[in-house]
Amino acid sequence: MGNIEKSESRTLDHAKCLFISGPTGRDELFLTLSKELETTNKIDSTFLSLAHGSEDYFAQNGVLRNKIFSVDFEKEYPSLNVEYLEAKEKEYGFKLLDMWHVAAIRKKRRRQFSSEKVLRILEYHLRSFEKILSSNQFDYAFIIGISEPRQVMIYKMLIAKGIPVLELVNARIPGRFTFDDALLSKWPMIFRKYEELKKVGLSDEARQKAMDFVSAFRDKPFKPDDSAPKKWNVKKVAKQLQYYAKVFSYRKRLPDLRQWIYTPFMDKALLHSSRFEMPVDGEKYVFFPLQTQPEASTSVKGKWFMDQIDLIEKISKSVPCGYKVYVKEHVWNYSRRPSDFHKKIKEFPNVRLISPKAKTIEVIKKSSLVFTITGTVGWEAVLLQKPVIVFGEVYYAHFDVVKRLFDLTQLPEATEELLDSEMNLDDVLVCVSSMIQGSYIGIAALPGDCQNRSLAPDNMKLIAKGVQKYVAALE
């Protein structure tokens, strides 16, 4: 189930831990967690900074400079050695240009870099990480929110070197988290529990707890901790501005202010345009929700299916003529799409471009089949017993009730097989119970995605306890 289980009798006590930090609150989260674990387990903390200015932040907060490493994103290695890079691709099991793609789509100017420049940047990253790992012996590495090539690179290097990776992940159940250890979204504790529960079944108590969760979701749908709508008031806005000022003090860079200025204006303008439709009562349809891009959920976890317009076209060719394809725009991304993106979608005759204002849960409930790359909508469909076809690497794709499709030539057959079917409730309850029993209490989300709730002192104690339990369970 990953690299950790190969080790025996592991413990956090006096462990040498590498915390891989970065933007969106990773610095603050891992500094706070490290201090908590230094108190409870006397760990020895080292920080790898992947954001401009992070090293100054750690130094200002008492971390010794010899415990801080920094790897600049666009720094280049002086002399390109392709043979060295090819050898390291084989050694660590990755493709360098595959990882670069994660970064290239985030900034237009990076797409203009020459092949040699890209490889020199990647060689600098690779040699820097090898130097850090060869000169230090780490017992564990912590990471959260994989979103760029350096994170993917160091993650796979750690696995190859047998250093356990503790990737904190939101368990998609409010107030709970778990871990990944192999960059596969097959969360070890949850799927260990899932295999166990499939064999022995649910106790009455476990079944009732799972049923209560499903019923609560159906009565009043809720989002995961890192996806819940942000509720702003004067106090929270003031606190956020204070945080931006603090970040600027050591990064010397302004945050992305589009969410405050450009995006709200464009969102309103598009919502009042004729671009989107609302669902039509009584119409039969399958559902494909658009995902945000650029985003790790597609560029890392769904990289072979990133062309969403191509997917929509294939889905539209796979459904019976009496069905529509509802493509719902994502509430966080619709004003950031390329200018002709929506136009291309609306050219397909059996496709409706659904407004982000439409209630996603209601669209799922009335659908005949749900398609998604890696979206949370797939998990929500499971909770509603709706059939799901998933294309990317996502946790719920490993449940037997979900259809994982690798070959798009099989899409028509899979669509016909699942259309208008219903998942067995007992099978769904096993999935839910494994998610509950294989996760831990606490909010392990990037502070920037949860209005800093994950940084609360009481929550940090819960995360530390979860880490301790997870490591103990793997002994």
Q: What angle do CA 170, 176, 180 make, to 5 degrees?
A: 40
More confident residue, 293 or 178: 178
Q: From CA 436, how far away is CA 432, in angstroms rounded?
A: 6
The mean per-residue pLDDT over the stretch 361-382 comes to 97
Q: How far is CA 76 from the centre of its chain?
A: 28
Q: What percent of the chain has pLDDT over 70?
A: 86
Assign residue 33 the CATH number of its domain.
3.40.50
Q: Is residue 193 part of a domain?
A: no
Q: Is the pLDDT of residue 397 over 80?
A: yes
Q: Is the pLDDT of residue 253 over 70?
A: no
Q: Is residue 198 part of a domain?
A: no
| pLDDT (tens digit per residue) in 38-55 | 999 999 999 999 987 888
The mean per-residue pLDDT over the stretch 1-29 comes to 78
Assign residue 287 the CATH number of its domain.
3.40.50.2000
Q: Is residue 162 part of a domain?
A: yes
Neighbours of 407 (CB within 10 A): 8
Q: From CA 153, how far away is CA 160, in angstroms rounded?
A: 11
Q: Is the pLDDT of residue 412 over 70?
A: yes
Q: Is residue 241 part of a domain?
A: no
Specify the pairing of strand 440-441 against strand 403-404.
unpaired
More confident residue, 75 or 271: 75
Q: Is the pLDDT of residue 285 over 50?
A: yes
- pLDDT in the model for residue 204: 98
Q: From CA 91, how far away is CA 219, in angstroms rounded?
A: 50
Q: How far is CA 91 from the centre of its chain?
A: 26
Same domain, 446 and 468: yes
Same domain, 57 and 107: yes
Q: Is the pLDDT of residue 317 over 80?
A: yes
Same domain, 94 and 14: yes
Domain limits at 284? 256-433
Structurally, how many domains does the chain consist of? 2
- pLDDT in the model for residue 256: 61
6-44 as b/e, with b when 16 or more CB fall inside 10 Å? eeeebebeebebbbbbbbbbbbbbbbbbbbbbeeebebe
Q: Is the pLDDT of residue 1 over 50?
A: no
Q: From CA 153, how far away is CA 140, in angstroms rounded?
A: 16
Q: How far is CA 141 from the centre of its chain?
A: 18
Band the pLDDT of 244: cuts 50, 70, 90.
low
Same domain, 452 and 329: no
Token couple for 95: 């493709």
Top mean-pLDDT range of 205-219, 243-257, 259-273? 205-219
Same domain, 158 and 298: no
- pLDDT in the model for residue 266: 66
Same domain, 456 and 372: no
CA-wise closest residue to 310 among 275, 344, 260, 271: 344
Top mean-pLDDT range of 51-65, 120-134, 330-344? 120-134
The mean per-residue pLDDT over the stretch 86-97 comes to 94
Q: From CA 26, how far away is CA 158, in angstroms rounded?
A: 19
Q: Is the pLDDT of residue 425 over 70?
A: yes
| Of the candidate ranges 8-12, 109-113, 314-318, the one whose mean pLDDT is the lowest | 8-12
- pLDDT in the model for residue 260: 58
Q: How far is CA 288 from CA 41, 77, 140, 235, 329, in A?
A: 46, 43, 39, 37, 9
Question: What would you measure as the largest C-alpha separation in the chain, in angstroms?
Answer: 66
